[in-house]
Structure 1
Amino acid sequence: MKAFDTIIAESAEAIAGPWRRPRQMLHAQVYDSHASIHDDATAQKLGFQGGTIEGPTHFSQFAPLCVSVWGNAWFETGCISAHYRNPSFEGEEVQAVMAKPASGETQCAIQMVKRDGTEVLRGTASVGDGKLPTALDQRLTELKPLADPVILRDIKVGMKTKRQAVRMDVDRNMGDLYPFSLAEKLKVITEPSPFYAGAGNPWGHQIIPIEMLSVLFQYKAREDRLPVRGPAVGLFADQEIRLLRGPLFAGEDYQTEREVVALSGSRRTESLWVRTTVFASGNLPVATMLLNLASIKDSYSPYQKEHSELYA
């Protein structure tokens, strides 16, 4: 059984997948009792043309490229590490591009672009033991420190959450944060695969696609919340998903634990960097996710007042 039938173009320096139009499935997302950046009206108030496609949706387009280079090892120890550069919107075409690796190389540069050349994301894809620094490993060493925090003023690096049980059944709606099921996602995923159906793949179970791992890992994030001030609109600014002993399967029980690993800031945002570790039975870590959730200062209504009170 072949993992993907995706047509891959090749040049001297790179391989690239087809142009795709990812579907927006978060129009109805509710976060902290308000609509999210994926809602058209909310996004437009903040200066975007409409609701944005969630970043990890794009990870699926890299999977066929990675399998073409590293085979089924991609499903077991694959990693995508990406800095989101510009949003994309439903109806826009985007293309995944990966630099050709030298023989035996286990990490490559990746990029996603729009038809007009706008860069949606850049980063690295890799397989193996994780000894090479990923794009976000490098980015963590270059962060601009968070000065005068308001939204994140109660957060400290090193904070940890308790473990939470998570599970993704095929037909389970994944809640307010992700108001759809795996079955619904598989109907519109940009790169379908028989491996996602289970029967006949090398593991004999239904694999959760890499973009849906983000959904699984964030599923209980509201129940073990860190003390972030709000309500405020957040967006994914950086994200890395790494499989350690994959794949992860639909209908299996896992546990997640989150830890604050960094805080950073920009003119418009306060950023919370959280590493989620995922455990299977027997306390065995099977995957990790590093996520930079950037809260938009202008979306937090008392921001200016509280900033003045704290730092006048």
Structure 2
Amino acid sequence: MTEPAFRTEILENGNLLAGPWRSPRQMLHAQVYDSHASIHDDATAQKLGFQGGTIEGPTHFSQFAPLCERIWGQAWFETGCLSAHYRNPAFEGEEVQANIEKPKPGQTTCAIGMTKRDGTEILRGTASVGEVMETALSRRLGELKPLADPVILADLKVGMKTPRQIVKMDFDQHMGDLYPFSLEQKLKVITEPSAYYSQELNPWGRAIIPFEMLSVLFQYRAREDRLPVRGPAVGLFADQEIRLLRGPLFVGENYATEREVVALSGSRRTESVWMRTTVFAMDDTLVATMLLNMASIKDSYANYEQEHKALYG
């Protein structure tokens, strides 16, 4: 016997399916990154011109899960992919709404978006299932301009890889300084609850990890990578894609992760490293990937101007 995946109310709005307005909870106030507070800390964020600590991007992925499950059913949990460019931050107390275009028969990729009540765009991208060749971020990667005059990322090179690491997520497991909470705590406030996340009443007979928490699992030991990034500097997620190849991933199961630098890019305010995380089951089966653009804010690095002058005159 299985329970319905979601009981979320889904609205039809022209050529879109839309979920309810939700107010995601901020759970990263106490996040510590490289021994300093992060963009999710109010004081740190305000120093950099934000109104407060931002809601972490993948938190929003949960609001797309009921929409994608409505379209693709069980396939969403097994081979689903969300590929998103984060456009503007959301803050605790603000309401946001997820939407997805209605697919044509047989369509396996759909445009997605999220907005605030005032129309501010939070993210845009694609959702898909199966072996899709092109996603929002695969297109974006192909359009990137090379990073010019890097400072924070001056010592980083495309192709650098990290050793394989074993990761796991139990219900009561504190996920470390990067994610100072447990899955159990997240499930109490997740925007779209599901019996699939906490019970065996699903097609796989085991509790599965929510899509947004896959980001937490895959990043759990990222601070051990020791890549040559200069700092401390405050970073934020600018783009993110999570793709299931042989999902879902299960609570209490060991997985192995490897990371590779696949691109470096930048803007007037940031330097970005694009990391691809490859995730394996313990029998070496490839089960998932994540592409993450971690953008470091130049103004948050105290030695930026001094080192830029030393490097480039």
Could you state the TM-score of these two structures normalised by the residue count of structure 1? 0.99
**Residue 103 of structure 2 is aligned to residue 101 of structure 1:** yes
* Conserved? CA contact 2:274–2:294, under 8 Å: yes
- Offset, 1:32: 0.4
2:89 to 57, 67, 87: 87
SS, match of residue 73 in structure 2: helix
Deviations 1:23-50 (A, max 9, x none): 0000000000000000000000000000
Q: Distance in 1 between matches of 2:62 and 2:124?
A: 14
Structure 1 letter corresponding to 2:161: K
Structure 1 letter corresponding to 2:96: V
- Offset, 1:185: 0.1
2:123 to 118, 121, 124: 121
Q: Which residue of 1 aligns with 2:35?
A: 33
- Offset, 1:218: 0.2
Q: Which residue of 2 aligns with 1:49?
A: 51
- Offset, 1:143: 1.0
Structure 1 letter corresponding to 2:54: T
Q: Which residue of 1 aligns with 2:293?
A: 292
**Residue 162 of structure 2 is aligned to residue 161 of structure 1:** yes
Deviates more, 1:224-233 or 1:266-275: 224-233
SS, match of residue 162 in structure 1: coil
* Conserved? CA contact 1:168–1:251, under 8 Å: yes
* Conserved? CA contact 2:108–2:132, under 8 Å: no
Structure 2 letter corresponding to 1:288: T
Q: Distance in 2 between matches of 1:267 and 1:245?
A: 39
Deviations 1:257-276 (A, max 9, x none): 00000000100000000000
* Conserved? CA contact 1:144–1:266, under 8 Å: no
**Residue 269 of structure 2 is aligned to residue 235 of structure 1:** no
Structure 2 letter corresponding to 1:64: P
Structure 2 letter corresponding to 1:168: M
Structure 2 letter corresponding to 1:61: Q
Q: Which residue of 1 aligns with 2:226?
A: 225
Q: Distance in 1 between matches of 2:252 and 2:38?
A: 28
Q: Distance in 2 between matches of 1:100 and 1:15?
A: 6
* Conserved? CA contact 1:99–1:109, under 8 Å: yes
Q: Percent identity over the alignment?
A: 77
1:21 to 20, 23, 35: 23
Q: Distance in 2 between matches of 1:159 and 1:189?
A: 35
Q: Distance in 2 between matches of 1:98 and 1:58?
A: 13
Structure 2 letter corresponding to 1:236: F
Deviations 1:224-255 (A, max 9, x none): 22111010000000000000000000100001
Q: Which residue of 2 aligns with 1:275?
A: 276
Q: CA RMSD in A?
A: 0.6
Structure 2 letter corresponding to 1:238: D
1:69-80 equivalence runs, <5 A:
69-80=71-82
**Displacement over 2 Å in runs of 4+:** none
SS, match of residue 74 in structure 2: helix
Q: Distance in 2 between matches of 1:220 and 1:272?
A: 17
* Conserved? CA contact 2:38–2:235, under 8 Å: yes
Q: Distance in 2 between matches of 1:282 and 1:181?
A: 26
SS, match of residue 115 in structure 2: strand
SS, match of residue 40 in structure 2: coil
Structure 1 letter corresponding to 2:41: D
Q: Distance in 2 between matches of 1:145 and 1:89?
A: 31
SS, match of residue 195 in structure 1: helix
**Residue 67 of structure 2 is aligned to residue 65 of structure 1:** yes
Q: Distance in 1 between matches of 2:228 and 2:104?
A: 45
Q: Which residue of 2 aligns with 1:146?
A: 147
Structure 2 letter corresponding to 1:15: L
Q: Which residue of 2 aligns with 1:173?
A: 174
* Conserved? CA contact 1:243–1:287, under 8 Å: yes
